[in-house]
Homo-oligomer: A and B are copies of this chain.
Amino acid sequence: MANAQTTKLKILDAAEELFADHGFSETSTRQITKKAEVNLASVNYHFGSKNELIQAVIERYLEVLVPNIDVELTGLKNDNPNPTLEEVFSVFIRPILSLNQQRKNGTSILLQLLGRSYTDSQRHMRRFFLGNYGDVVAKFVALVYKAQPGLSPSEIFWRLHFTLGTVVFTMASSDALMDIARADFDEQIAIEGVVKRLIPFIAAGVSAP
């Protein structure tokens, strides 16, 4: 089996950083293999194609993230049968922030990747997401509905997509925004600070009259 593992990992690590920084089509397999210090052909040998590499990069994150969110979701459901909207949205905080322990800048890398893949192919991403993690999504939506029973299903659909837009868009560019905040307001803010400002915003939005 040689050390295929480490070659595959080197490719994934190099690719995710380049994809997050410059986008998918702006990153070439030659850039990836050069940064990973592996042979050009190994992308196709190990992943088949560049597209399958893109998918592998994203799945590596979702594979650990979504189960973690699921744990928080059922934990919340058990501890508190009637959680508030803020509590429901907070189930994302710990799993998303803990990506930073798994990999340096893991949080912002994933969210940048999501932002890019989302704008690139909304429909495709949605199908993939619902296909693979539909039960977690359903669990989450059910909790939102319980916290805000006045909302019709279609209103929940719209408001959660608004929310998704806010989060993905903000987090995808959180590095730049934090830089600006530092420059314009002398504000020393980290990614956790952004999240803590985000939660009240979206909770208020979703529970708007």
Q: Which A residues fall within an 8 A CB radius of B? A: 23, 25-26, 115-116, 118-120, 122-123, 126, 153-155, 157-159, 161-170, 172-173, 176-177, 179-181, 184-185, 187, 194, 197-198, 200-209
Q: How many angstroms between the C-alpha atoms of A115 and B187 in the bound complex?
A: 27
* CB–CB B185/A153 < 8 A: yes
Contact partners of A119 in chain B: CB under 8 A:
23, 115-116, 119, 169, 172-173
* CB–CB A165/B154 < 8 A: no
Contact partners of A157 in chain B: CB under 8 A:
180-181, 184-185
Write the nearest CB–CB distance from A102 to chain B, whole angstroms.
Answer: 24
Q: How many angstroms between the C-alpha atoms of A187 and B157 in the bound complex?
A: 11
* CB–CB B155/A197 < 8 A: yes
Q: How many angstroms between the C-alpha atoms of A206 and B172 in the bound complex?
A: 20
| Copies of this subunit | 2
Q: How many angstroms between the C-alpha atoms of A118 and B23 in the bound complex?
A: 12
Contact partners of A187 in chain B: CB under 8 A:
154
* CB–CB B176/A122 < 8 A: yes
17 inter-chain pairs at a CB distance below 8 angstroms, sorted by A residue, are A23-B120, A25-B25, A116-B119, A118-B169, A118-B173, A119-B119, A153-B185, A154-B184, A157-B180, A159-B197, A161-B170, A165-B165, A165-B170, A166-B169, A201-B205, A202-B205, A204-B209
* CB–CB B180/A126 < 8 A: yes
Q: How many angstroms between the C-alpha atoms of A154 and B178 in the bound complex?
A: 11
* CB–CB A185/B122 < 8 A: no
Contact partners of A180 in chain B: CB under 8 A:
126, 157
* CB–CB A197/B158 < 8 A: yes
